Chains A and B, each alone.
Chain A
Amino acid sequence: MGQRGTHSVSLQVFRSGFQKRVGRLALYALPLLFLSVFFYGPLIQVISRGFSLDQLSKIFSSPYMRHVLFFTLEQALLSMLASLFLGVGLAFVLAKYEFPGRRWLKSLTIVPFALPPVAVALGFVLIYGKNGALNQLLMGLLNLGEPPIQILYSLPGIILAHAFYNAPIVARFVAASWERLPVRYEESALSLGAPRWRVFLKVTLPLLMPGLISGATLAFIFSFLSFPAVLAIGGSQFSTLEVEIYRRAIIQIDYSGAAALAAVALFFSLLSIFVYLQADRPYRKRLHIVATQRRTQIFKNIKSLIQPRYLLLNLFMTGMLIFFAAPLAGILIDSLTRQSHGQMSLTLDWYGQIFSSKYSALIAASPLQSVLNSLTFALSAMMIALLFGTILTLLMLRRRTRGQAALELLLMAPLAASPVAFGLALLWASAQPPINMSGAGAVIVIAHSILAVPFVIRAMMPALAQFDSKLYEAASALGASHLHNSLKIVFPLIRGSLATGAAFAFAISIAEMSATIMLAQPDLLTMPLSVYYLLSSRQTGAASAMCVMMILVLIFAFVVIDRRSEPSYTNQRIIEP
């Protein structure tokens, strides 16, 4: 130690001072450069192409376009409310109760979100259609002449489909907030005599706000940017902004019109991100890592299922399970059966088809190739998003008051950017340098990673914000190397958030279709695109089989990655009823 120790410390101080700054600059510059070249650059190109007062006035003077804009906002708001309603209910159950399969259920919340919209539409038609399973069941049981459930091809149907997608995400975010809630606040209030509803309103709700705001904003944005679920569930009368952009660019070959709409979509999206960041700000306090959460055990055995005390809860859970499982079950059954001459028969042909390596013109690739492509793209995008997202989170956490808000807006923008417009932007930009130097597959990976970055940021933020650098400095002072510090101190503490970020990035890449459809070429197909093409050529069996594959891939990814995200150091007290 002695002399040698002092010498190395002073050298270290000198070296780390200078190297630190340069290193840090390089660190932050890379992801920013990445975003500029592949996100902002192309988008600005698209907007400048469409942003003329002439084009804008054309849009706002057209009664149809005003209708589309209004409808897009209307359905997004209603879908957000529906998702909040269902999501908070689900979150409550996930946070407050313990039952077999709870952690599985929590992991599975990502599955509806990542399903291809057209597959969800198919599932809905199979179950909730006029001639769907539910109507057939009810008509048979109650001897009805007309199908009682007619929700498809209407606004309620669309809202329901959006709730299917977004309620689990809301549930996930709100449950995460709820679990970290220090129970002692509620317990104190109760012990001081406050009625339950007051405790909820004044104590619980404010503490849940971060999760609620995140969940609500995501639900709004995803519903706002919905494509093509609205077409498949509703029909052409329920077109949204995103659908219009796609139709104009690809079917009607009206590029300036598409670009103008993209600019409008971007404006609304940025506005919603801005609102989200503003609303979230006052709640961005340091949350305690160690929370004592109380969970009540239910569903321990069959007897507990029918206890009157938990009747409402059980009904709610059963209803939820049916709502979410039914369309998925419909898809599963569709993938295993074949209809011919009015008869249904079991078959594994569809699965045989999707694992074929033979080129299929219907998807312009071999099915097996599209599965491999999806996996490759997802793993690559996940790594890039994780890397850049973490760096950007560090950037966002630096204590800087000037420009902080603007920086946040810029970094979170990919979250709300219209994926169709983004895909279009990349498509046009990939004809010129520097993008035309990378392969088309790389452009797809880049698109996916950019879309995933905001999610990684959101996942890493709490962990990195709470990271106590004193731990790091203490270890350094004791002689630990950087590597040792990273591996043994930093990593274990942020592992959970890394896992969540990785899982989300992976899922987003697997599920991404709107941007990919603009960039796809023969042989570069992904699974959701294959599903889309197969469904549009009425190969529903093969499409359903591909969907089931996607679900399995997602479940696997989440079992492997996401199960580690629940803080293992949370004290849990399980209460027996």
Chain B
Amino acid sequence: MPQFSKYLVLLLLVVGLLLTDESSSLSVQQSGPLIIYTYSSFVSYGMADVVAQAFRAETGAEVRFVATADSRAMLSRLIAERDARGEAPADLFVGVEVSDLHIARRNDVFESLSVDAIPNLADIPEDIRFDDEQKLIPYEHGFITLVYNSEALKPADAPKTFDELLDPRFKKSFIAIDPRTSSPGLSFLLWTISKYGDPGYLDYWKSLKANLLTITDSWDVAFDLFTRGEAPIVASFSTDHAYDLIVNGSEKNRILLFENQAYRTIFGAGVIRGAKEPELARKFLNTLLSPEVQSQIAETEWMIPANPNAKVRLIWSENIVIPSDPVLLSSEAVSQNVDRWIEQWVNAVLIQ
């Protein structure tokens, strides 16, 4: 056989040079800009730019966001990267949802914060401060409920209760979201558990199966399918009507409150343990809670700002839907039972 070794050595030298290219090292953190992991809508809807600008104006420091997925996936990615590399890949995380608090705690992701470090924290009302360890501070909140397309489903025909949703006329009409991979998905599941109890909720879901069009792994995908008209009902946020009205000039998206209830959702942010710029990170959180920045939340994030001193437009506050009887399971109950609840749900719903 031919002897190519001479030329091979040459080629391999070239290849070897390629392989030891140090320009992209495994360590991500560069000195200087604050690195923030957050969910994609925080960036795509514009809030990231708002805070970054205000922060730059206050401190002169730059901010770099990484927002390639939804809140649960990004939190998991943060933890996975930290475990793989042995160091915190970012300084801040924006977007831990109240139902995911147990994930943050189990993996010891965040460090404690004090009012001294974050003065604006004092303005935030007690009832949305979901982390008694004060590692995660709330910056916005809202409600998970059902949203329907009034062009495909007449308001008179829309379901008024959970039980009505089981009606055969809604066959393949509901887009649900996987609680294993999505916070809104988990919130909706928890709502059914609160309503039907444990294990009553399993019977409910078994009956609901026939009416599911599909179960998506994130709210973003579910909402996209809903917007494309694949199904008329989706689990989503109670501000969707206001969004549709103000942004699209349309009244297509309507909100369903089953028995005046909806499930609370609260989003928090925190400084990551081992962050390279903890001082700057705390300053950023303070900026995030400032009345000026909070006033932008209503019509960028389409959530209710945490700071009561934030300003909102009348058309917004008139059209967001707030339930008179909001539901929220305690963090202890969730932390103790969520694994079992999800496993049972998986066995009941995902096995045909």
Contacts and interface: CB of A to CB of B under 8 A. Distances in A.
B216 to A, nearest CB: 6
Contacts of A442: 18-21
Interface string A341-378: 11000000000000000010111100000000000000
B181 A247 contact: yes
Interface string B3-23: 111001001100100111111
A231 B215 CA distance: 9
B289 interface: no
A490 interface: yes
A536 B218 contact: yes
Interface in B213-241: 213-218, 220-221, 223-225, 228-231
A129 B5 contact: no
A20 B3 contact: yes
Interface string A475-493: 0000000100110001000
Question: Which label, helix, strand, loop or mixed, suits the secondary structure of the A interface?
Answer: helix
B91 interface: no
A482 B20 contact: no
Interface residues of A, number: 74
A64 B350 contact: yes
Contact of A130 (B86, B180, B230): B230
B68 A362 contact: yes
Question: Which label, helix, strand, loop or mixed, suits the secondary structure of the B interface?
Answer: mixed
A361 B350 contact: no
Contact of A131 (B24, B38, B230): B230
A341 B248 contact: yes
B77 A250 contact: yes
A336 B68 CA distance: 23
Contacts of B181: 236, 247, 251
Contacts of A440: 24-26
Given A523-B24, A536-B221, A253 B216 contact: no
Interface string A9-48: 0000000100110111011001000000000000000000
A546 interface: no
A428 B86 CA distance: 11
B97 to A, nearest CB: 14
Interface stretch (A164-172, A197-205, A380-388): A380-388
Nearest to A255: B83
B76 A251 contact: yes
A341 B65 CA distance: 30
Contacts of B28: 521-522
B228 A131 contact: yes
Contact of B18 (A19, A380, A485): A380
Interface stretch (B41-49, B154-162, B187-195, B321-329): B41-49
Interface of B: 1-5, 8, 11-12, 15, 18-26, 28, 38, 40-41, 43-44, 48, 64-70, 72-73, 76-77, 79-80, 83-86, 103, 107, 172, 178, 180-181, 213-218, 220-221, 223-225, 228-231, 248-250, 343, 346-347, 349-352
Given A441-B24, A522-B64, 15 more contacts: A23-B3, A27-B4, A27-B5, A64-B343, A152-B230, A231-B216, A253-B79, A255-B83, A361-B64, A361-B65, A430-B84, A446-B19, A536-B221, A537-B68, A537-B69
